[in-house]
Amino acid sequence: MAEDRTQLTGWKTSRRVICAGTLQDLVSAAGRAEFWDQHEHEFLVYITYPPDEVNGCQIQEHFPHRADTENVFDEL
Backbone dihedral angles phi then psi of residue 37, each to the nearest 5 degrees: -70, 155
Q: Indicate the pTM of the whole model.
A: 0.60
Q: pLDDT per position in the chain (76 positions), as tens?
A: 888 999 989 989 888 888 888 777 777 777 666 676 677 778 888 888 777 788 888 888 877 666 555 555 555 4
Q: Which of 58, 42, 46, 39 is nearest to 19 (CA)?
A: 46
Residues facing residue 47 across a β-bridge: 17
